[in-house]
């Protein structure tokens, strides 16, 4: 990355000396003899930093500062003066100068300040680029699905994203809970603040409280310095607590308090800290079952589920599978410079019939694998790993048209009994009949007692 600096001084030796001292491989330094000449250069390009003398003919440093602020407010201005006073420095800062240095200029000091400004600019641009990438990847407009259940999810997201409400996202592993959490953040007023994901299941129970709420120096063995927790890090932004069902009861108490009062203390601390954090939690566990087992607090559960979003498994929205597969195909073909690729109709049909225990994550990984290993732009069933090409287990019975009802009933009962390993109680439950009725019918079919 290249930076552009402008040095303005009516003393030729001073401006040339500063130019030589500040020029680097990644910096281009322009010079001007007074404010008027500087304005001409400002018409031609945008500068990252303007370093200007205060007293100059035609247009002095203060007037130049005002002009820079009006034209390119992102340009940093450093004022130089051999007549430095506190009043002048204060006025310069009030008008928008980033720094005020007295003459004669200490080159090392100036270089330090210039480097600091450029580092901050680089970091700001990098963060903006990352935010843009994240929004392009995770923004609501880029979430894929046309099934009625996903359309409902999208509608709910659009409605609640601008609010401060706590959200609980439920669904099986791989359904895209973190994607939804980031979409909430990216489409909220907090989008320019921190989005902090935390996998509660990945943190040891002994460290979970410290990681979430921070700790003071000496709070426990190994706490050699004060540390901010995720709640402090995410202040003003969004904290995503994934696998919320894994946190212990002691941490649940503290989490309930921060949700209700927005206050907490670090581990080992006595000072009460206040934060403004939107909490989005997610789980693939049945929290109501955990409540019955006394492993999850009921009051915390209801505080988390102010709004609940349930993500259906992929097998329950099969109409989305081709759309998702094509989206991933374009993405990975572009990333791997494979050109235009396509999924053959037979391949798409196999993908639609598969049950996807790993949900969207599994589909995404499969498409990436196929793209990377593909020898042709057209992906046929032969490009699928073996387990996806296997004949899917059928959850239906083929009965020819015109089969007598008694024979149909017999076939359904015997097939269900076989699938349940001969368990007559379970078979009766599935078929919705009494166990005695099932036994009587089996006797009519000549099927003996179960072993």
Lowest mean pLDDT, pick from 82-86, 128-132, 263-267: 128-132
Q: Is the dihedral of CA 196, 197, 203, 205 positive or negative?
A: positive
Report residue 431's pLDDT band, with 50, 70 and 90 as the boundaries: confident
Question: In 3-state terms, what secondary structure has residue 62?
Answer: helix
Q: What CATH number is given for 405-444 in this structure? A: 1.10.10.60
Q: Which residues contact 451 (CB under 8 A, 6 or more apart)?
A: 422
Averaged pLDDT of the chain: 87
Per-residue pLDDT, averaged over 153-171, amounts to 93
Per residue in 1-51, pLDDT (tens digit) is 789 999 999 899 998 999 999 998 889 999 999 889 999 999 888 899 999
Per residue in 298-331, pLDDT (tens digit) is 999 999 999 999 999 999 999 999 989 998 999 8
In CATH, what class is 151-312? Answer: alpha beta
DSSP code for 26: T
Per-residue pLDDT, averaged over 195-207, amounts to 88
Q: 370 or 136: which carries more pLDDT confidence?
A: 370
- CA angle at residue 127 from 126 to 129, to 5 degrees? 65
Report residue 132's pLDDT band, with 50, 70 and 90 as the boundaries: low
- Which candidate, 200, 178, 173, places its Cα nearest to that of 134? 178
The third-level CATH classification (topology) of the domain covering 315-389 is: Helicase, Ruva Protein; domain 3 (1.10.8)
b/e code 352-361 from CB counts within 10 Å (16+ = b): eebebebbbb
Q: Is the pLDDT of residue 138 over 50?
A: no
What does R_g of the chain's alpha carbons equal in angstroms?
A: 33
H/E run at residue 29: strand 27-32
Per residue in 362-413, pLDDT (tens digit) is 999 999 999 999 989 999 999 999 888 765 555 667 777 788 888 888 888 8
Lowest mean pLDDT, pick from 63-72, 252-261, 287-296, 420-429: 420-429
Report residue 448's pLDDT band, with 50, 70 and 90 as the boundaries: low
Per residue in 178-192, pLDDT (tens digit) is 999 999 998 899 998
- CA angle at residue 72 from 105 to 57, to 5 degrees? 50
Task: Say what the pLDDT of residue 451 is.
Answer: 39
Identical topology for domains 3-125 and 151-312:
yes
Per-residue pLDDT, averaged over 237-256, amounts to 93
DSSP code for 281: E
Listed in order, strand segments (DSSP E) in 303-410 are 307-311, 342-343, 378-379
Classify residue 367 as exposed, middle or buried by CB count within 10 Å of its CB (0-12, 13-18, 19+): buried
Please state, in angstroms and rounded to a whole number, the distance separating the CA atoms of residues 93 and 167: 43
Task: Say what the pLDDT of residue 126 is.
Answer: 64
Per-residue pLDDT, averaged over 353-362, amounts to 91
Q: Report whether 230 contacts 275 (CB < 8 A).
A: no
Q: DSSP string of 201-249? A: GGS-HHHHHHHHH-B-TTSSTT--S-B--HHHHTTTSEEEEETGGGS-H
Q: What CATH number is given for 3-125 in this structure? A: 3.40.50.2300
Domain definitions of the chain by residue range: 3-125, 151-312, 315-389, 405-444
């Amino acid at each position: 990355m290249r930076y552009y600096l402008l040095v303005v001084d009516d003393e030729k030796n001073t401006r040339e000396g500063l130019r030589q001292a500040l020029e680097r491989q990644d910096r281009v330094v322009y010079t001007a003899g007074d404010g008027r000449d500087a304005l001409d250069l400002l018409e031609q390009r945008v500068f990252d930093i303007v370093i200007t003398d205060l007293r100059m003919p035609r247009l002095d440093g203060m007037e130049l500062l005002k002009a820079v602020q009006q034209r390119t407010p992102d340009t940093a201005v450093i004022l130089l003066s051999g007549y430095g006073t506190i009043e002048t420095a204060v006025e310069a800062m009030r008008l928008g100068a980033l720094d005020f240095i007295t003459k004669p200029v200490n080159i090392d000091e100036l270089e330090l300040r210039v480097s600091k400004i450029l580092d901050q600019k680089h970091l700001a641009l990098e963060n903006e680029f990352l935010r843009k990438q994240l929004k392009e990847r995770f923004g609501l407009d880029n979430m894929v699905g046309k099934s009625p259940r996903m359309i409902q999810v999208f509608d709910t997201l659009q409605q609640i994203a601008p609010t401060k409400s706590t959200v609980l996202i439920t669904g099986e592993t791989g359904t895209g809970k973190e994607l939804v959490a980031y979409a909430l953040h990216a489409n909220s007023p907090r989008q320019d603040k921190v989005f902090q994901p935390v996998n509660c299941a990945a943190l040891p129970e002994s460290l979970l409280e410290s990681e979430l709420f921070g700790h003071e120096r000496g709070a426990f063995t190994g706490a050699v310095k004060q540390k901010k927790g995720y709640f402090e890090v995410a202040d003003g932004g969004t904290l995503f607590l994934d696998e919320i069902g894994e946190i212990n009861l002691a941490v649940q108490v503290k989490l309930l308090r921060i949700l209700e009062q927005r206050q907490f203390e670090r581990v080992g601390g006595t000072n009460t800290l206040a934060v403004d954090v939107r909490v989005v939690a997610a789980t693939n566990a049945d929290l109501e079952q955990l409540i019955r087992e006394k492993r999850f607090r009921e009051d915390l559960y209801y505080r988390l589920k102010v709004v609940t979003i349930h993500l259906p498994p992929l097998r329950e929205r099969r109409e989305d599978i081709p759309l998702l597969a094509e989206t991933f195909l374009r993405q990975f073909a572009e990333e791997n410079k494979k050109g235009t690729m396509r999924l053959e109709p037979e391949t798409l049909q196999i993908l639609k019939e598969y049950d996807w225990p790993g949900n969207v994550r599994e589909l995404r990984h499969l498409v990436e694998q196929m793209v990377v290993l593909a020898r042709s732009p057209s992906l046929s069933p032969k490009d699928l790993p073996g387990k996806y090409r296997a004949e899917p287990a059928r959850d239906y019975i083929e009965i020819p048209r015109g089969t007598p009802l008694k024979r149909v009933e017999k076939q359904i009962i015997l097939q269900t009994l076989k699938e349940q390993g001969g368990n007559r109680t379970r078979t009766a439950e599935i078929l919705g009949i009494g166990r005695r009725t099932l036994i009587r019918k089996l006797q009519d079919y000549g099927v003996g007692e179960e072993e």
